[in-house]
Amino acid sequence: MPARAYLDHAASSPIRPQVAEQMAQDLSEGLGGWANPSSQHASGRRVAGLLAQARARIARALGVDAHEVVLTSGGTEASALVIAGRARAVPGGRLVVSPIEHPAVLDSARAAAEQLGAGLSLLEVDGAGRVVLGSVAAALAPSGRGPAAPVSLVSVMAANNETGVVQDMAAVVDQVRRTTGIERPGRPGYVPVHCDAVAALGKAPVDFHGWGLDAMSLSGHKLGAPVGVGALVVRRDVDLRPVTGGGGQERGIRSGTQDVVGARALALAVELAVAEREEQGTRLAVLRHRLLEGARALPGAHATLPDGTAHVASTAHLWFEGADSEALLMALDLAGIDASAGSACHAGVHGPSHVLLAMGFEEGPARSTLRCSLGPTTSTDDVERLLTALPAALEGARRAWGVTHKAAGARS
């Protein structure tokens, strides 16, 4: 049976061989499997030292301080911690987020609004999915009667996990600072800015301090580490209230015995992803161009991002006229190709992409998408295999669309 063409690295990327080798060695030696890094005996202190080394390696690769790295179970938990933590720290405050955020941010913000009484303001994006800076100013200085609720957090992702569009994070942060007039943390009225960098790290430049961020999320399994490890980079002066009880092992923000093997795996994956970013970006840009060029040669096939839009080289996003994305994915699956319609984090729920709807697409095109995401293992053969299978798969998807919409029309 021929190997499958895996074009879903944005959902999860295979564990890197170097990381797997390190984990196997760590586990065979018992690291993290028998000693608790919070224990005071010799074995605990040894493991605690390895944990500190892993944290320092992550920090060095990201250009941050080790005390700013809070280890988590992944990017979703990291984003949820900062959203809920700020909502608890500023009761009645407003969360300001972009409408194209990952569910880890959007759903957490909506939950904070429903359960914690936080306000929620959505920014505007243009037709390419880039945040409109004027909407940032409007959200931070809303017009109307009476005093405005304080803004507890602004959250904008560096690169979109569906389309791959890259935001100008430095400009977003600068707009926040100029609108509020407060640039120094700790002063009354200072507004922290969080960035979900899960889809950007290793694929686009990420500069925590250069951008002026206060918090940033990342996830290991997008970088070649195992599922279940990630980090929240957060400045010490950002007030985050914990959402659960426990031992407060991670700066009092997150509780639970730390996964030392996972932390070491994350450290190695981050180091490799950052070191290889430019080389991989150049290679994947060629594959992305070929994929989009070949797909757009088909009738009614369109690239989602306009030409010239800043993007990560690892994501090629398309939409098709009159095509059922579920049928398209099923046909590609049967042809041995793994791809997706968008985020894999909606637990299999199919519907129009909230990202495309926010960009101004109508519901039909927003339901007719294909995301092909590339990674270190992606080859030219993988792309050509997709392009060979796509015409027949698209034909079937259009037949399915016709049947579905004919039935819908009959019911109406």
Bridge partners (DSSP) listed for residue 170: none
- Which pLDDT tens digit goes with each residue over 83-101? 999 999 999 999 999 999 9
- Binned at pLDDT 50, 70 and 90, residue 404 comes out as confident
- Which pLDDT tens digit goes with each residue over 189-201? 999 999 999 999 9
Q: Which CATH architecture has domain 17-272?
A: 3-Layer(aba) Sandwich (3.40)
| CA 84 centroid distance within chain | 18
**How large is the average pLDDT for residues 203-212?**
98
* pLDDT on residue 403: 83
Output the CA torsion sign for 398, 403, 406, 408: negative
* pLDDT on residue 30: 67
5-13+276-407 CATH fold: Aspartate Aminotransferase, domain 1 (3.90.1150)
Domain(s) of CATH 3.40.640.10: residues in the chain: 17-272
- Which pLDDT tens digit goes with each residue over 46-68? 999 999 999 999 999 999 999 99
- Binned at pLDDT 50, 70 and 90, residue 205 comes out as very high
- Which pLDDT tens digit goes with each residue over 114-157? 999 999 999 999 999 999 999 999 999 865 544 578 999 999 99
Question: What is the DSSP secondary-structure string of 81-140?
Answer: HHHHHHHHHSTT-EEEE-TT--HHHHHHHHHHHHHH--EEEE--B-TTS-B-HHHHHHHH
Residues whose CB is less than 8 angstroms from the CB of residue 171 and which lie 6 or more positions away in sequence, other chains included: 133
Q: Residue 69: is its pLDDT beyond 90?
A: yes
Domain(s) of CATH 3.90.1150.10: residues in the chain: 5-13+276-407
- Binned at pLDDT 50, 70 and 90, residue 347 comes out as very low
**How large is the average pLDDT for residues 231-245?**
94
* pLDDT on residue 142: 66
Active site residues: 345
